[in-house]
Structure 1
Amino acid sequence: MTASTTNDHVGTSGTATANEQVGTIETRGIEPVPDAERHGHASQMFWTWFAANISILGLPLGATLVAFRGLNIWQAVLVAAIGSFGSFALVGVLSLAGKKGGAPALTLSRAVFGQRGNAGPTLISWLSRVGWETITTTTAAYALLALVRWIFGWHQNTVLTLVCLLVFIGCTLLISGLGHATIMWINKWATVVFGVLNLIVMGFLVATVDWDKVLHVHAGPVSGVVAGVGFIAAGTGIGWANAGADYARYLPRKLPGGRLVTASAFGAGIPLVLLISLGSLLSAGDTTLASASDPVAAINGMLPSWMAVPYLIAAFGGLLMSNHLSTYSAGLTMLTLGLRVRRHLAVTVDVVLMFLGGVYFMLIAKDFYGPFSTFLTLLAVPISAWVGVILVDSARGRGYDPAGLMDTTRTSRYWYTGGLHLPAVLAWAVAIVTGLLFTEASTSADDVWFAGPWAHTWLGVNGLGWAVSMAVGALLYGALGRRPAVLPGQDAGAGSAAGAPPAGAEGTGR
């Protein structure tokens, strides 16, 4: 092993048992998981994505479909189903690479883009994770502030805001720092608890719906439905597309891929359709939820006062379930970028940035939803371009050489030309530029962050720049790239070292 890759393997000797035990720190970094340490069932992906999507952030997404997209409730439910199930089926498809190669998504991406070429997609993915964590942390801190005010009568101030941020971040660090085995265990049982609480809260919210207004809302145009599907997909599954393999890498190679895809789609789709549909119902009678600067307070105001405590606990817990997954993936992504620390320390670095972002949103920024929507719009484009390239590469039967993935020097099988796999890098870059041509990112009509020259065409107005980016990335890489070569003996030797079969035999579980 070369000196430059030593830190990717920190703490792997004699730690197989620790990596599989709930409550102990996972010492594995980004190196591929040997077959001897693979375990679990497809149901783990169901609980993982259910946990990631039981937060109240689904409600303002649904509210937007009615308030800003002009859809009626039936169209909103259809859009929620297609956008949620469809985008997380895509996450499941991308997760197959984790099962096949045994490594995190962005580490496997080295085989596609080259050791240096992968830096761009990895950096964008890390920024995406930090952004989602900041949004989630801010919302959870608002929930905790409201809970403290209800129980103790303490009103928000700077010190109390900082304390609430630190409490949530501390809970996130505890779970994500321990690692994969603990996350999988908590996903299942905590999801049941917070899921039941959310169902109770949702029942009371349904009672506040103005059904007369809901049933008399006229249907929106077909273009609004198409745009709505794109908006929901971008705000849900596309945001997790670059993390799916992170949680599938411990699954047995022989696990049928179809089960993993189905579990991912239903695990996320069930809670998302319920939450988005409810948000649409609420907004049909009162559009203020769609533009609320504090969605936690807006939803709390719709409930009976005695429901405040269970609602706020459910909100806090649901957001925590999403945040610890995002933070875990961010830590792995930082290691892929080259941060030379242990995995749990990489998570610690990440939460510091999360805290600073929360401080900005809560104490400096005046608008919550505007920056949230703008953030989704911009980062969805490069992530979608990456997805397009990866989908085509995976469809060609990519096998992964464990030694090549971890060797970041010129001796790596994935060094290609100067560290760049030019067909993939070029397709990704062109796809980003093309997608941005159709993209406008703004918090309001008077606060435009970025606007492409074709942002006011049908595709641009309907927020489909990310879809253009994905299509262009896939088509261009399909035209430029070639089927990955299998070098005699190289994959076989590397595969044996990691407890994996030769590259030609990989993926037979699909």
Structure 2
Amino acid sequence: MATRTTGTTPAEASTLETRGIEPVPAEERKGRPGQLFWVWFAANISILGLPLGATLVAMGMTVWQAVVAAVLGAVGSFAIVGAVSIAGRRGGAPGLTLSRAVFGARGNIGPTLVSLLSRLGWETVNTTTAAFALLSLATILFGTSPQAKEHPVLTIVCIAVFEALTVVVAGLGHAFLVAVQRWATWVFGLLNLVVGGFLVATIDWAAVGAASPAPIGVVVAGVGVIAAGTGIGWANASADMSRYQAPAVRAGSLVLSAAAGAGIPLVLLISLGSMLAAGDPSLAEAGDPVAALRAMLPTWMAVPYLIAAFGGLLLSNHLSVYSAGLTTLTLGIRVRRVWAVVVDVVVTFLGAIYFILVADGFYTPFIAFISALAVPITAWVGVFTVDMLKRRHYDPVALVDTSRTSAYWYRAGVEPRAFGAWAAAIVVGYLFTTAGPSDDAWFTGPLAGTWFGENGLAWVITFVVGAGVYAALGGARTAAGRPT
């Protein structure tokens, strides 16, 4: 029997979640928005917010402009995450499983595969950064060299420790994850406050005050960078957590829990990163952001900093790996949910080894990665959001039926209006996209030099095209002319 996951008692929290992607029965949905607040807060207290803030300063912004960009980009993008999570409350199923109702049993494979790549990429980033944190800690405690390639065995052990702690939480499932995220937030959140307070004392306030404001277009571009690097990447995972929310929970409460839960730590971390970079621009170019920040601290403060960095990344990885396991099942791989989690972790384990021991850099691929995948994910968000405006019900049987008998089979397994709008938005979005840093881009679209492209608005255009084309074609209209 599937376990009930409310996160209300120790017994429930420690029980293995046996449910896969099948919808949660209404009587078992007892979650509250307050639980999701802690889930999103915990997932965003990692130090990756600091280099994002440094990137804004590197673009030419003042600290105060960076703060504005952080608020608009982080809070705004996670408000979208909260809006998409409404579908999880309605259908009781993971986001990419609900997406079958929109794109069709076969047509949904495309968005699902992109989502899985996004999750695996973020997990590799988390794992790589966490391994750097443990390596730096080993340097302090044991006097080893900070260069990972000089200690390959130690590096692999650091990666394995992080992955093992991830599997324990993500493997046990939703209730245990919710409980861990809430209580761990207090521990690692307080550590972050202590370290952040010390870092504030090192800020070059003269450099902060002397900076000249950047044009408004640069600020707009900064909002795009923050949105793409924070909320947009989580949008297709939001329903994975909200599927246990009680049917009576208000939609506005879900939006607020995500926007505030993620927005508070992100705005603080991004703002701090921008202040630090104003006095030390090298932070934005650091191949190892953990080591760059570690160098600013005395040894006695570096230890709690590295522990806080490791913990924040671990909390983010819990949520990402849990979602990746559900997304793997949605692709049609027939294994138990816990084994899907293990498979995903093995992939990111190998990816982290490559980035640390083989590749020459880490931060440049990170920027290229988030900017490249922001386009297809945003296209999916546009189509899915329009569909939500009409769709109030998801057929629980059809969601897990990928055969020709499914109510969501449509035409040869594809809903042509939704899939066509998604594909069109991707094509148009990439026309305006520069994937990666401008001086070392992986890809530059032919319209990337226009005002929209230069100001990082490719993701906005992608959303508008995806939502607009799908809406023009009728949105969640069925063959009978009614939304399901």
Contact kept, 8 Å, 2:434 with 2:444, in 1: the verdict is yes
From 2, 10, 29, the equivalent of 1:38 is 29
Contact kept, 8 Å, 1:84 with 1:272, in 2: the verdict is yes
Confirm whether residue 117 of structure 1 aligns to residue 97 of structure 2.
no
Q: Specify the code of the residue in structure 2 equivalent to 1:284.
A: A
Contact kept, 8 Å, 1:19 with 1:25, in 2: the verdict is no
- In structure 2, the residue matched to 1:215 is 209
- Partners of 1:35 and 1:29 lie apart in 2 by 16
From 436, 446, 459, the equivalent of 2:452 is 459
Which whole-Å deviations, capped at 9, do the CAs of 1:426-450 have from their partners, x for residues lacking one?
A: 00000000000011224562x4321
Report the CA distance between 1:483 and its aligned residue.
4.0
- Partners of 1:374 and 1:142 lie apart in 2 by 20
Report the CA distance between 1:18 and its aligned residue.
7.6
Q: Specify the code of the residue in structure 1 equivalent to 2:395.
A: D
From 121, 130, 138, the equivalent of 1:131 is 121
Contact kept, 8 Å, 2:386 with 2:475, in 1: the verdict is no
Report the CA distance between 1:234 and its aligned residue.
0.5
- Partners of 2:3 and 2:479 lie apart in 1 by 29
Report the CA distance between 1:456 and its aligned residue.
1.1
Q: Specify the code of the residue in structure 1 equivalent to 2:141.
A: I
- In structure 1, the residue matched to 2:3 is 16
Q: Specify the code of the residue in structure 1 equivalent to 2:120.
A: V
From 300, 316, 339, the equivalent of 1:306 is 300
Q: Specify the code of the residue in structure 1 equivalent to 2:409.
A: W
Report the CA distance between 1:397 and its aligned residue.
2.9
What secondary structure sits across from 2:442 in the alignment? Answer: strand
The runs of 5 or more residues in structure 1 that have no matched partner are: 1-13, 492-502, 505-510
- In structure 2, the residue matched to 1:412 is 406
Report the CA distance between 1:81 and its aligned residue.
0.7
Report the CA distance between 1:246 and its aligned residue.
0.3
Which whole-Å deviations, capped at 9, do the CAs of 1:230-272 have from their partners, x for residues lacking one?
A: 1101100001000000000001111111111111100001000
From 20, 28, 53, the equivalent of 1:62 is 53
Q: Specify the code of the residue in structure 2 equivalent to 1:209.
A: I
Greater CA drift, 279-288 or 435-444? 435-444
Report the CA distance between 1:118 and its aligned residue.
0.2
- Partners of 1:352 and 1:198 lie apart in 2 by 29
- In structure 1, the residue matched to 2:96 is 106
Report the CA distance between 1:164 and its aligned residue.
0.4
Confirm whether residue 149 of structure 1 aligns to residue 143 of structure 2.
no
Confirm whether residue 232 of structure 1 aligns to residue 226 of structure 2.
yes
Contact kept, 8 Å, 1:384 with 1:470, in 2: the verdict is yes
- In structure 2, the residue matched to 1:499 is none
Contact kept, 8 Å, 1:398 with 1:484, in 2: the verdict is no
From 477, 481, 500, the equivalent of 2:470 is 477
Which whole-Å deviations, capped at 9, do the CAs of 1:128-164 have from their partners, x for residues lacking one?
A: 0000000010000000111112112233411111010
- Partners of 1:288 and 1:249 lie apart in 2 by 43
Contact kept, 8 Å, 2:369 with 2:436, in 1: the verdict is no
Greater CA drift, 302-311 or 323-332? 302-311
- Partners of 2:415 and 2:216 lie apart in 1 by 40
What secondary structure sits across from 1:70 in the alignment? Answer: coil
Greater CA drift, 241-250 or 153-162? 153-162
Report the CA distance between 1:71 and its aligned residue.
0.7
- Partners of 1:452 and 1:259 lie apart in 2 by 39
- Partners of 2:461 and 2:421 lie apart in 1 by 13
What secondary structure sits across from 1:243 in the alignment? Answer: helix
Which whole-Å deviations, capped at 9, do the CAs of 1:340-393 have from their partners, x for residues lacking one?
A: 100000000000100111011101111111000000111000000000001100
- Partners of 1:332 and 1:361 lie apart in 2 by 25
Report the CA distance between 1:485 and its aligned residue.
4.2
What secondary structure sits across from 1:103 in the alignment? Answer: coil
- In structure 2, the residue matched to 1:321 is 315
- In structure 2, the residue matched to 1:496 is none
Q: Specify the code of the residue in structure 2 equivalent to 1:250.
A: Y
Which whole-Å deviations, capped at 9, do the CAs of 1:16-57 have from their partners, x for residues lacking one?
A: 348862122110000000011111211111101101100000
Contact kept, 8 Å, 1:370 with 1:444, in 2: the verdict is no
Contact kept, 8 Å, 1:98 with 1:249, in 2: the verdict is yes
- In structure 2, the residue matched to 1:167 is 161
What secondary structure sits across from 2:20 in the alignment? Answer: coil
Q: Normalising by the residue count of structure 1, what TM-score does the alignment of the two structures yield?
A: 0.91
- In structure 2, the residue matched to 1:92 is 82
Greater CA drift, 36-45 or 163-172? 36-45
- Partners of 2:431 and 2:212 lie apart in 1 by 32
Q: Specify the code of the residue in structure 2 equivalent to 1:94.
A: V
- Partners of 1:482 and 1:216 lie apart in 2 by 51
Contact kept, 8 Å, 2:5 with 2:174, in 1: the verdict is no
- Partners of 2:414 and 2:5 lie apart in 1 by 36
Contact kept, 8 Å, 2:229 with 2:370, in 1: the verdict is yes
Contact kept, 8 Å, 1:106 with 1:336, in 2: the verdict is yes
Contact kept, 8 Å, 1:386 with 1:428, in 2: the verdict is yes
Is the alpha carbon distance of 1:442 and 1:270 closer, same or farther for their aligned partners in structure 2, counting shifts above 3 Å? closer
- In structure 2, the residue matched to 1:260 is 254
The runs of 5 or more residues in structure 2 that have no matched partner are: none
Contact kept, 8 Å, 1:121 with 1:383, in 2: the verdict is yes
- Partners of 1:423 and 1:338 lie apart in 2 by 23
- Partners of 1:385 and 1:357 lie apart in 2 by 26
- Partners of 1:150 and 1:487 lie apart in 2 by 67
Q: Specify the code of the residue in structure 1 equivalent to 2:78.
A: F
Is the alpha carbon distance of 1:192 and 1:480 closer, same or farther for their aligned partners in structure 2, counting shifts above 3 Å? same
Q: Specify the code of the residue in structure 2 equivalent to 1:358.
A: A
- Partners of 1:238 and 1:51 lie apart in 2 by 17
